[in-house]
Amino acid sequence: MKRMILGSRGLVAALSCMACGMAGAADFKIQSFDGTGQLTFNEISTATVYRVEWAPTPSGPWTNFTGAAGAQLDMIQATGSGIVTCSVPMCYRVVATVTNALPETFSDMVLVKGGSLTNIGNGAIMVSSFSIGKYEVTWAQWQAVRDWAATNDYDIGSVGAGSAANHPVNSVSWYECVKWCNARSQKEGLTPVYYTDAGLALVYKTINAYPFVNASATGYRLPTDAEWEFTARGGTQSQGYEYSGGNDLNVVGWYSDNSGGGDKAVGQKTANELGLYDMSGNVYEWCFDWYPGQEGSYRVGRGGTWHYDANFCRSAFRLLGNPRNRSLYIGFRLAQTLP
């Protein structure tokens, strides 16, 4: 025979009596429950074993404290003194599992105020104001847009690779990056920048083509060579550093001497004067322009890579990039023309 009796002050814990007996609820009370988790109840003569149970509400459901964590709250032996005191759990914690992944949004665009830089290695640079990605496009961002693109007539459905969600995408050709920019624009309801016809009617979605540019569109695009270098050098906030954000590459970028042989999560080194990360190192970044003197053949890549030495990470350096090539060392960051 089993009879359940509840403590009459069971605001937090309820007591059950597993012994046979005639004691009524009025005889069985929680005497105290203090701020340190000490719970005291009176013994009743006909019970020798007690158990503390827990419930999220006064009406239940009731849970036993069994197993290693709460074994001391089960099979509580009577003391014979008339009072039993025990410690009950009253601490809670929340454990979050984080992936360190950046959100799949592009709120991380930085406004770059236009202006000019002179007395730099490549001559003068002048740009209008525009927006540019604070980080390299990540593998997670690439995949999110790529999946959308695959069901919207783009041919980049299986393109690209990444070491982890928040690492830069790699193994993407110049053409594929341009198409991805268009896909992202369309996915977000923005006017695409790149087209396959001079009339700007056919959005560039497939094959390797030399796209026509809608210069006033506010969709995503690759930065121009000038925009990239202007930004890398800190724009109007430029401090004249050799690398983007400093003269000590170990502080601002991942390259062959400090990368350990692989790309890194974006945004871990010190940002440059404009708050942008990884413009020196991690992965090269495709720019829109033809490489000077190689028009029709090669596009520009910028910023060096985790795989090569510091020389390639200088803000002045240009990579001669075959736009068809996919490489572990090249990704990109987004730019946007202002409305």
Exposed e or buried b per residue across 247-279, where buried means at least 16 C-beta atoms within 10 angstroms of its C-beta: eebeebbbbbeebeeebbbbbebebbbbebbbb
Residue 227, interface with Ca ion (CB under 5 A)?
no
Contact call for residue 141 and Ca ion (CB under 5 A): no
Complex with Ca ion: residue 267 or 303, whichever CB lies closer: 303
Nearer to Ca ion, 303 or 323 (CB): 303
To the nearest whole angstrom, how small is the minimum distance from the Cβ of residue 281 to Ca ion? Answer: 6
* Contact criterion met (CB below 8 Å) for 256 and 308: yes
User: Nearest distance from residue 317's CB to Ca ion, in Å?
Assistant: 12
Among the residue ranges 224-232, 236-244, 302-310, 319-327, the one whose residues contact Ca ion (CB under 5 A): 302-310
Q: Which of 141, 244, 282, 337 binds Ca ion (CB under 5 A)?
A: 282
**Nearest-angstrom CA–CA distance, 220 and 131:** 10
Question: For the chain, what's the residue count?
Answer: 339
Q: Measure the CA–CA gap between 299 and 319, rounded to whole angstroms.
A: 8
Instruction: Say what the alpha-carbon torsion angle 29, 32, 33, 38 is, to the nearest 10 degrees.
Output: -110
Using alpha carbons, select from 202, 122, 210, 169 the residue that is nearest to residue 327: 169
For Ca ion, which residue of 303, 307, 321, 329 counts as binding (CB under 5 A)? Answer: 303
Contact region with Ca ion (CB under 5 A), list: 171-179, 189-197, 237-245, 301-309: 301-309
- Nearest-angstrom CA–CA distance, 214 and 194: 6
What φ, ψ does residue 311 adopt, rounded to 5°? -55, -35
Number of residues that bind Ca ion (CB under 5 A): 3
Work out whether 225 is an interface residue with Ca ion (CB under 5 A).
no
Shortest Å, Cβ 303 to Ca ion:
4
The reply to whether 278 sits near Ca ion by the rule CB under 5 A is: yes
**263: contact with Ca ion by CB under 5 A:** no
Residue 232 near residue 277 (C-beta atoms within 8 A): no
**Shortest Cβ contact with Ca ion: which residue?**
303
DSSP label at residue 274: T
Which residues contact Ca ion (rule: CB under 5 A)?
A: 278, 282, 303
